[in-house]
């Protein structure tokens, strides 16, 4: 990290004009009026429609494919199979185990096998039915324990470790001694089921291969740059002949952060047919593309002193990865590496094993790899508090990591507003007056968490910046910002506009943002790991500050005054010592252009060197961490077993809230998503190897009448390295929702829910088991 | 986008035209009476009719009216939202109003019709899936196959009757008016359903349901509907319970009924419910009434054993049978309802 | 008319009244209203999320009532008035307003538009609610929007948007009754 990557937390011109204001979004009205264009809203003359043939078997060898009858159908322009796209890819350089279409094997029901381009969707669908595929069926692995136990038949044949995808074992401090000497040890088994992103927009691409030999792909991706690289690799086209554009995106949550089959297929079909090709996944296909939250079976042991001070944590985790690696290597590390805050503990060991199964591949979903362990750990803490007779808040306060600390696994934590988060939710929920005093069936629970604001490790190792920005200043007073960042609805482009306007003293309407177009914009690595505001924001400040001096000196010279008297504010330039003297921004730009040159600047951000000095020590290392605390209030109907989440209080330390309306939206959306995972959502493969219900009817997203009252409480700990002190808000606020809910159910009816999802049937069984014991609460703790 | 298979659309303006078209097309035709069930099923290729006859333009099939004898007559094409919002229905037939108000979500209640709901196809977790999905699993008894995935070795389709309004109409003794090009017949709704998941309705392919006629209950009528589902909107029932209590002027139960749906291929009337409840007086002797209600709930539990035909935990559905039976009866007695978790 | 070699017959010309304009389109019988709006009329503001009536993203107003356009055959919409998200602002301006419709402005001001994909449908459901009930209670708002799934917001800022209008009351709510939508 160079000096240019730190810009301080202070307003550039004395006071903030836009930051903290909660302005409307840069694309809000376009979205509200239907004018915003998403991938499937685009069309081109002569456009063909493409469809994918998918495997009906969970595990099989491909013996032969006959697509002759499909090609013979009038209106069909091309059929491609795995032989046409044999080059492997994968988001991580170390685990390239996917092909756009199956080459020799299929590994889950829904694995792509062939693709067709035809004049319309109906013809393409008809063609799919005429493709004959000869399969040799193989034993399907549906249970991760079986994959762990045996590697035969292998799901991926060239792996050394059978059906193990990744195993990580790390230990810090003297774990065994800590357990031996502990006053209290809490042990428990926890299950996290599979869930998926279910963004309302299905994946869609439009590909065009021009007579100039340039491939343009409009894709509903959240990682334009990586798609660009993957297309080049798989298609064998040099990257300068490929342009990837992300149009307006209808939600992602991590579900659009891999390169996907349709991107390669539509591109090749466009090349083969010399016509534009669109491919839009059906909702069912989106469930097969998946990359959702990994199911995890977790065993935790937590050791503490008599005062509740944590002594050691020991975890063993089995991760069901599904059919491909995707981000799995990172997931496996994250399952252990991201647990080491917001509490201090001196000894820690985890062993995480990800295995392949014949199911849709898992990947990163909001809170990648760390939502599952956080659930287990925060319930462990609640049980520890119960055992020691401590209030759950008090237990956590006794273990605070604090600011400017180093975690047990060597991560540097700078700003830390967790203690304040605890205070805010404790106060707002009336915890002290209400907890334990509500009628039976009603309860309060709490939990905390920590999350990264991006990581210092790019997905492919390279020394270049993680984020780049380019500014172009126009004589009209307009600034056009070229940003590689992917605005996926979270508002990245709105933040970019806000920061540029702040830095150059402009009105918001004087800033236009062009984003996520690899021909026009410098590289940003994409919308994942909550890196956007932090990294793109810093790159913006870097670029703006390079121009500010130029602009100020041009005006100062023209006025013949000391540059310190010149201030850019709200679209004008004023003389601080002569209120009568001012210029519109446009005039200032013209003065500077005449005096110096055409006006533009670039800026970038790269992370400092971070992380522990051991293999994997940089995974999970972030330039800044966000913190969250939740209190959740539930009612439990003991006769039906149904849990109703009545309200949730969410306090989140996002550093400086650049736009509090957007921050609150992220907090509420995160909490909603976590609570939904806990109560109703289930991405499950049935005993036949099929997704049990790949539709938005059977995969149930809560509706407006199912969603609790959500109260967002923003906590601002100004981060020394964030843009004006900002950190992330998009993923962290999800984490405590699930354990807080479980803990609230304990408060309400005295049962410990440790196996997600918390369906009413499971609740009833737990209630019955508890009733069978004389002292249900104690039994639940010792019985695990 | 998931596409509809191609077909020819007919939009008759009159009932005779519609019946004539249906007579010509026979089993090749599908009748579109809202389409909120038919069109998804067609997208899933559960049905591939060559002709679709849309009834939306046919005059005389909508509306809620009181007949001379006090019966309430509801046109088959009356939107569910209208049934739910009708003051007359709410007052006279509370269970029906409540059931109609809980079908699917707001838009689908505008589009979906009472007739369409009565004729809703049976549902199963192995059936209501795309053609690709079903082909991957292997087709089943309900459509294109010979096996049952719910009951291993089963030879009878157990897809679940899933219409919310049907149990309410059964407790109300509704009569279905069914027309064919050459005749019209009146069919008590009790005789309309059979326990066959493939087709659970006794309706000939050339017949149309045109009207639902509900005899006017006596002044002491109480009714309620209970619906079990995961979410508070959109979802089909995992269990539907309609309860009826007719009280004398003295507040004594003279007639009672309890009908459940979403368990098996046909809705089920709880045998012995009427006898158990008759003579009790919810207002005057609530404890005795509650005892009777518990007895009926226990009867319901014994008579209903849900199969894993719908998504989710069927054992839990079974456990909810007595709970929802009891709660719905109590709600009816109190003049309340629906029994629904939100 | 049948043309040899083509799989489908060419349909009868269909007249659709959308946002006050009459469009003539030629589509096969099995096309849905959503497909015609998006892929024939260029009205891509109505979104497709679930294929089959489970999400509400394709909600349009049919004679003033919210309807799921992926479950309405295009031909069934003939003779009825269709209002899509694209029609709201022009309608507001034609009625003497300026800018966008107040419902759209409220959604923008409240942060309700994250990815925006569900919001055309959501806004139309809210608009129809406010047209018949300018001051809905919070539970009425929740009930009216219960057929429109949103994955981003947790609905809170959407409720805020409608509450903004409900508080303002009839002054800023849509001034037209559902019937008046039939242009």
pLDDT in tens, C43-56: 999 999 999 999 99
Query: Looking at the complex, does the CB of residue B138 fall below 8 Å from at least one CB of chain C?
Result: no
Query: Looking at the complex, does the CB of residue A694 fall below 8 Å from at least one CB of chain C?
Result: no
Q: For residue A510, is it within any domain? A: yes
Across the interface, of B230, B311, B316, the residue whose CB is closest to A764 is B316
Q: For residue B241, is it within any domain? A: yes
**pLDDT at position C182:** 31
**pLDDT at position A3:** 52
Query: Looking at the complex, does the CB of residue A662 fall below 8 Å from at least one CB of chain C?
Result: yes
Query: Looking at the complex, does the CB of residue A249 fall below 8 Å from at least one CB of chain C?
Result: yes
SS3 label, residue A566: strand
Q: How many domains does chain A have?
A: 1
Q: For residue B246, is it within any domain? A: yes
Mean per-residue pLDDT, A352-361 = 98
Query: Searching chain B, which residue's CA lies closest to the CA of residue C124?
Result: B107
| Residue A775 predicted with pLDDT over 70 | no
CATH of the domain at C67: 3.10.20.30
User: Pick from B21, B38, B57: which residue ends a domain?
Assistant: B57
Instruction: Give the model's confidence band at C3: pLDDT under 50 very low, under 70 low, under 90 confident, else very high.
Output: very low
For residue A496, the enclosing domain spans 3-35+465-605
Q: For residue B125, is it within any domain? A: no
Inter-chain CB proximity A705 and B232 less than 8 Å: yes
CATH of the domain at B291: 3.30.390.50
**pLDDT tens figures, B62-90:** 999 999 999 999 999 999 999 999 999 99
Query: Looking at the complex, does the CB of residue B311 fall below 8 Å from at least one CB of chain C?
Result: no
Inter-chain CB proximity C54 and A697 less than 8 Å: yes
Interface confidence, given as ipTM, is 0.97
Q: Give contacts of A 37-56 with B, CB under 8 A.
A: 54, 56
Q: What angle do CA A308, A311, A317 make, to 5 degrees?
A: 110
In this structure, are C153 and C138 located in the same domain? yes
**pLDDT at position A779:** 45
For B6, the token pair is 């191609």
Residues of C in contact with A712 (CB under 8 A): 156
Q: First vs last Cα of chain C: how many Å apart?
A: 33
CATH of the domain at C105: 1.10.150.120
In this structure, are C90 and C168 located in the same domain? yes
Q: For residue A481, is it within any domain? A: yes
| Residue A782 predicted with pLDDT over 70 | no
**pLDDT at position C5:** 37
SS3 label, residue B136: helix
Q: For residue B90, is it within any domain? A: no
For residue B292, the enclosing domain spans 221-333
Query: Looking at the complex, does the CB of residue B35 fall below 8 Å from at least one CB of chain C?
Result: yes
Minimal CA separation from B319 to chain C, in Å: 28
Query: Searching chain C, which residue's CA lies closest to the CA of residue B48?
Result: C30
Across the interface, of C48, C68, C125, the residue whose CB is closest to B108 is C68
Minimal CA separation from A280 to chain B, in Å: 7
Task: Please say whether the dihedral angle defined by the alpha carbons of residues A194, A313, A628 and A438, taken in this order, is positive or negative.
Answer: positive
**pLDDT at position A773:** 85
Q: Which of A690, A701, A766 to mutate against chain B (most B CBs within 10 Å)?
A: A690
Q: Average model confidence (pLDDT) for chain A?
A: 96
Inter-chain CB proximity C30 and B106 less than 8 Å: no
| Residue C94 predicted with pLDDT over 80 | yes
Query: Looking at the complex, does the CB of residue B318 fall below 8 Å from at least one CB of chain A?
Result: no
DSSP at A509: G
Q: How many domains does chain C have?
A: 2
Task: Please say whether the dihedral angle defined by the alpha carbons of residues B82, B87, B92 and B94, taken in this order, is positive or negative.
Answer: positive
**pLDDT at position C4:** 38
| Residue A153 predicted with pLDDT over 90 | yes
CATH of the domain at B14: 3.30.43.10
Q: For residue B291, is it within any domain? A: yes
Give all chains having 3 or more CB-to-CB distances under 8 Å with chain A: B, C
Inter-chain CB proximity B342 and A693 less than 8 Å: no
For B50, the token pair is 């060559």
Q: For residue B112, is it within any domain? A: no
Q: First vs last Cα of chain A: how many Å apart?
A: 47
For C49, the token pair is 């999320």
Give the number of beta-carbon pairs within 8 Å between B and C: 86
Inter-chain CB proximity C52 and A695 less than 8 Å: yes
| Residue A603 predicted with pLDDT over 80 | yes
Mean per-residue pLDDT, A33-51 = 98
Query: Searching chain B, which residue's CA lies closest to the CA of residue A288?
Result: B133
**pLDDT at position A12:** 96
For residue C47, the enclosing domain spans 14-84
In this structure, are C107 and C67 located in the same domain? no
Q: For residue A88, is it within any domain? A: no
For B342, the token pair is 């939100």
Query: Looking at the complex, does the CB of residue B231 fall below 8 Å from at least one CB of chain A?
Result: yes
Q: For residue C7, is it within any domain? A: no
Across the interface, of C8, C32, C59, the residue whose CB is closest to B107 is C59
In this structure, are C40 and C76 located in the same domain? yes
User: Pick from C37, C67, C84: which residue ends a domain?
Assistant: C84
Mean per-residue pLDDT, A379-404 = 98
User: Pick from C69, C84, C99: which residue ends a domain?
Assistant: C84
Sequence-ordered list of residues with C-beta below 8 angstroms from that of B322, at least 6 positions apart, any chain: B297, B298, B300, B301
Q: For residue A435, is it within any domain? A: no
**pLDDT tens figures, B148-191:** 999 999 999 999 999 999 999 999 999 999 999 999 999 999 99
Q: For residue C181, is it within any domain? A: no
* Contact (Cβ atoms closer than 8 angstroms) between residue A741 and residue A678: yes
| Residue A684 predicted with pLDDT over 50 | yes
Minimal CA separation from B130 to chain A, in Å: 8
Q: For residue B141, is it within any domain? A: no
* Contact (Cβ atoms closer than 8 angstroms) between residue B211 and residue B71: no
In this structure, are C107 and C138 located in the same domain? yes
Q: How many domains does chain B have?
A: 2
Inter-chain CB proximity A29 and C104 less than 8 Å: yes
Across the interface, of A33, A123, A662, the residue whose CB is closest to C104 is A33
| Residue A87 predicted with pLDDT over 50 | yes
In this structure, are C38 and C92 located in the same domain? no
For A343, the token pair is 């509490």
Residues of B in contact with C150 (CB under 8 A): none
Cα gap A191→A324, rounded to integer Å: 21
Query: Looking at the complex, does the CB of residue B234 fall below 8 Å from at least one CB of chain A?
Result: yes
Name residues of chain B where pLDDT drops below 50.
none
Cα gap B79→B115, rounded to integer Å: 9
Q: For residue A625, is it within any domain? A: no
Task: Please say whether the dihedral angle defined by the alpha carbons of residues B296, B301, B305 and B311, taken in this order, is positive or negative.
Answer: positive
Q: For residue C8, is it within any domain? A: no
Inter-chain CB proximity B8 and C29 less than 8 Å: yes
* Contact (Cβ atoms closer than 8 angstroms) between residue C29 and residue B7: yes
Instruction: Give the model's confidence band at A298: pLDDT under 50 very low, under 70 low, under 90 confident, else very high.
Output: very high
Inter-chain CB proximity B35 and C72 less than 8 Å: yes
Query: Looking at the complex, does the CB of residue B235 fall below 8 Å from at least one CB of chain A?
Result: yes
| Residue A780 predicted with pLDDT over 50 | no
SS3 label, residue A134: strand
Beta pairing class for B64-66 and B183-188: unpaired
DSSP string, C37-92: HHHTS--TTS--SSSSSSS-TTEEEETTEEEEGGGSBGGGGTTSEEE-HHHHHHHH
Q: For residue C5, is it within any domain? A: no
Residues of A in contact with C148 (CB under 8 A): 703-704
Q: For residue C141, is it within any domain? A: yes
Neighbours of A677 (CB within 10 A): 30
In this structure, are C167 and C90 located in the same domain? yes
| A233 Cα distance to chain centroid | 25
CATH of the domain at A588: 3.30.365.10
Minimal CA separation from B313 to chain A, in Å: 7
Query: Searching chain B, which residue's CA lies closest to the CA of residue A52?
Result: B132
Query: Looking at the complex, does the CB of residue B129 fall below 8 Å from at least one CB of chain C?
Result: no
**pLDDT at position A774:** 55
**pLDDT at position C12:** 77
Inter-chain CB proximity A200 and C145 less than 8 Å: no
Query: Looking at the complex, does the CB of residue A760 fall below 8 Å from at least one CB of chain B?
Result: yes
Q: For residue C179, is it within any domain? A: no
Inter-chain CB proximity A37 and C146 less than 8 Å: no
Minimal CA separation from C92 to chain B, in Å: 24
**pLDDT at position C167:** 78
Q: Which of C59, C147, C148, C150 to mutate against chain B (most B CBs within 10 Å)?
A: C147
Which residue has 């219900």 as its token pair? A693
Q: For residue B159, is it within any domain? A: no
| Residue A559 predicted with pLDDT over 50 | yes
User: Pick from C25, C49, C84: which residue ends a domain?
Assistant: C84
Inter-chain CB proximity A705 and C142 less than 8 Å: yes
Minimal CA separation from A258 to chain B, in Å: 22
Inter-chain CB proximity A705 and B342 less than 8 Å: yes
| A671 Cα distance to chain centroid | 14
């Amino acid at each position: 990290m160079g000096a240019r990557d730190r810009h301080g937390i202070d307003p550039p011109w004395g006071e903030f004009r836009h930051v903290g204001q909660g302005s409307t979004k840069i694309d809000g009205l376009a979205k509200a009026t239907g004018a915003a264009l998403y991938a499937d809203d685009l069309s081109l003359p002569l456009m063909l429609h493409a469809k994918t043939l998918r495997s009906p078997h969970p595990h099989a060898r491909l013996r032969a494919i006959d697509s002759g009858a499909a090609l013979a159908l009038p209106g069909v322009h091309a059929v491609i199979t795995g032989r046409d796209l044999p080059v492997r890819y994968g988001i991580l350089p170390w685990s390239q185990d996917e092909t756009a279409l199956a080459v020799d094997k299929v590994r889950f029901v829904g694995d792509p096998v062939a693709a067709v381009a035809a004049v319309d969707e109906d013809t393409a669908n008809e063609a799919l039915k005429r493709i004959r595929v000869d399969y040799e069926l193989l034993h399907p692995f549906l249970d991760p324990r079986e994959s762990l136990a045996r590697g035969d038949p292998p799901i991926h044949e060239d792996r050394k470790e059978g059906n193990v995808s990744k195993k990580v074992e790390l230990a810090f401090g003297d774990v065994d001694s800590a357990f031996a000497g502990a006053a209290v040890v809490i042990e428990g088994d926890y299950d996290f089921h599979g869930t998926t992103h279910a963004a309302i927009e299905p994946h869609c691409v439009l590909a065009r291969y021009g007579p100039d030999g340039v491939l343009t792909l409009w894709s509903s991706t959240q990682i334009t740059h990586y798609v660009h690289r993957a297309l080049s690799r798989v298609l064998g086209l040099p990257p300068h002949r490929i342009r990837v554009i992300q149009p307006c995106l209808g939600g992602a949550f991590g579900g659009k952060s891999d390169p996907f089959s349709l991107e390669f297929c539509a591109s090749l079909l466009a090349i083969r047919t010399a016509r534009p090709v669109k491919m839009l996944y059906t909702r069912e296909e989106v469930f097969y593309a998946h990359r959702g939250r990994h199911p995890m079976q977790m065993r935790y042991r937590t050791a503490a002193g008599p005062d509740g001070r944590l002594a050691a944590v020991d975890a063993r985790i089995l991760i069901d990865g599904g059919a491909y690696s995707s981000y799995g290597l990172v997931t496996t590390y994250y399952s252990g590496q991201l647990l080491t805050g917001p509490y201090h503990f001196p000894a820690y060991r985890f062993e995480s094993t990800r295995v392949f199964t014949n199911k849709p591949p898992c990947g990163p979903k909001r809170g990648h790899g760390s939502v599952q362990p956080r659930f287990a750990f925060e319930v462990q803490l609640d049980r520890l508090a119960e055992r020691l007779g401590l209030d759950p808040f008090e237990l956590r306060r006794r273990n605070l990591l604090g600011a400017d600390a180093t975690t047990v696994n060597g991560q540097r934590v700078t700003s830390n507003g967790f203690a304040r988060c605890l205070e805010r939710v404790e106060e707002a929920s009336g915890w002290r007056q209400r907890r334990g005093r509500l009628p039976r069936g009603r309860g309060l629970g709490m939990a905390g968490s920590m999350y990264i604001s991006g990581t210092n490790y790019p997905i492919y190792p390279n020394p270049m910046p993680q984020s780049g920005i380019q500014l172009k200043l126009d004589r009209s007073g307009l600034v056009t910002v070229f940003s590689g960042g992917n605005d996926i609805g979270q508002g990245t482009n709105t933040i970019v506009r806000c920061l540029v306007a702040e830095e150059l003293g402009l009105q918001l309407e004087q800033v236009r943002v062009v984003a996520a177009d690899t021909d026009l914009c410098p590289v940003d690595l994409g919308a994942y790991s909550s890196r956007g505001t932090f990294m793109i924001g810093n790159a913006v400040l870097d670029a703006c500050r390079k121009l500010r001096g130029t602009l100020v000196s041009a005006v100062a010279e023209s006025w013949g005054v000391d540059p310190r008297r010149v201030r850019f504010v709200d679209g004008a330039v004023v003389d601080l010592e002569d209120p009568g003297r001012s210029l519109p921004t446009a005039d200032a730009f013209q003065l500077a252009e005449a005096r110096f040159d055409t006006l533009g600047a670039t800026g970038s951000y790269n992370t400092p060197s971070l992380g522990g000095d051991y293999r994997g020590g940089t995974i999970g290392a972030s330039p800044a961490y966000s913190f969250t605390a939740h209190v959740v209030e539930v009612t439990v109907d003991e006769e039906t077993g149904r849990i109703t989440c009545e309200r949730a209080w969410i306090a989140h330390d996002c550093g400086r809230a650049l736009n509090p309306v957007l921050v609150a939206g992220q907090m509420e959306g995160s909490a909603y998503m976590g609570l939904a995972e806990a109560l109703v959502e289930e991405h499950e493969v049935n005993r036949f190897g099929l997704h049990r219900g790949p539709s938005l009817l059977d995969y149930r997203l809560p509706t407006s009448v199912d969603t609790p009252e959500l109260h967002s409480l923003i906590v601002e700990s100004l981060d020394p390295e964030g843009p004006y002190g900002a950190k992330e808000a998009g993923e962290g606020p999800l984490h405590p929702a699930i354990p807080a809910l479980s803990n609230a159910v304990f408060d309400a009816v005295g049962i410990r829910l440790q196996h997600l999802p918390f369906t009413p049937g499971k609740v009833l069984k737990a209630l019955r088991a508890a009733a069978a014991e004389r002292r249900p609460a104690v039994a639940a703790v010792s019985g695990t | 986008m998931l596409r509809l298979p191609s077909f020819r659309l007919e939009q008759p303006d009159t009932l005779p035209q519609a019946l004539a078209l249906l007579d010509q097309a026979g089993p090749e035709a599908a009748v579109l009476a809202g389409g909120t069930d038919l069109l998804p099923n067609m997208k899933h290729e559960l049905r591939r009719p060559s002709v679709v006859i849309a009834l939306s333009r046919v005059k005389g099939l909508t509306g809620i009216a009181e007949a001379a004898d006090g019966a309430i007559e509801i046109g088959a094409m009356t939107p569910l939202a209208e049934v739910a919002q009708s003051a007359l229905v709410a007052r006279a037939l509370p269970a029906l109003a409540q059931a109609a108000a809980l079908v699917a979500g707001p838009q689908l209640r505008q589009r979906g019709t009472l007739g369409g709901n009565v004729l809703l196809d049976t549902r199963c977790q192995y059936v209501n899936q795309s053609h690709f999905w079903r082909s991957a699993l292997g087709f089943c008894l309900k459509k294109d196959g010979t096996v049952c995935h719910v009951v291993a070795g089963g030879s009878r389709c157990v897809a679940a009757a899933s219409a919310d309004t049907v149990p309410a109409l059964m407790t109300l003794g509704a009569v279905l008016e069914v027309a064919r090009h050459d005749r019209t017949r009146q069919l008590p709704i009790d005789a309309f359903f059979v326990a066959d998941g493939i087709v659970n309705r006794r309706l000939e392919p050339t017949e149309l349901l045109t009207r639902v006629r509900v005899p006017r209950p006596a002044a002491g009528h109480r009714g309620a509907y209970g619906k079990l589902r995961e979410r508070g909107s959109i979802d089909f029932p995992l269990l539907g319970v309609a309860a009826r209590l007719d009280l004398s002027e003295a507040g004594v139960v003279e007639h009672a009924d309890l009908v459940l749906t979403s368990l098996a291929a046909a809705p089920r009337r709880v045998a012995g419910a009427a006898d158990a409840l008759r003579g009790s007086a919810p207002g005057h002797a609530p404890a005795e009434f509650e005892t009777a209600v518990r007895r009926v709930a226990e009867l319901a539990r014994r008579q209903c054993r849900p199969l894993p035909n719908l998504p989710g935990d069927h054992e839990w559905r079974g456990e909810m049978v007595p709970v929802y039976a009891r709660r719905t009866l109590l709600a009816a007695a109190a003049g309340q309802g629906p029994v629904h978790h939100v | 008319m049948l043309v040899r070699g083509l799989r489908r017959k060419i349909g009868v010309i269909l007249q659709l009244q959308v946002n006050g304009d009459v469009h003539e389109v030629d589509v096969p019988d099995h096309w849905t209203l959503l497909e015609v709006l998006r892929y024939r009329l260029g009205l891509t503001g109505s979104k497709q999320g679930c294929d089959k009536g489970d999400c509400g993203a394709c909600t349009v107003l049919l004679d003033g009532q919210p309807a799921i356009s992926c479950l309405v055959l295009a031909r069934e919409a003939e003779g009825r008035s269709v209002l899509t998200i694209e029609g709201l602002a022009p309608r507001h301006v034609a009625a003497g307003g300026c800018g966008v419709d107040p419902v759209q402005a409220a959604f923008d001001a409240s942060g309700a538009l994250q990815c925006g994909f569900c919001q055309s449908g959501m806004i139309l459901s809210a608009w129809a609610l406010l047209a018949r009930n300018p001051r809905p209670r919070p539970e009425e708002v929740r009930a009216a929007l219960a057929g429109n799934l949103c994955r981003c917001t947790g609905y809170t800022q959407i409720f805020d948007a409608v509450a903004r209008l409900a508080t303002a009351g009839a002054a800023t709510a849509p001034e037209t009754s559902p019937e008046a939508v039939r242009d």
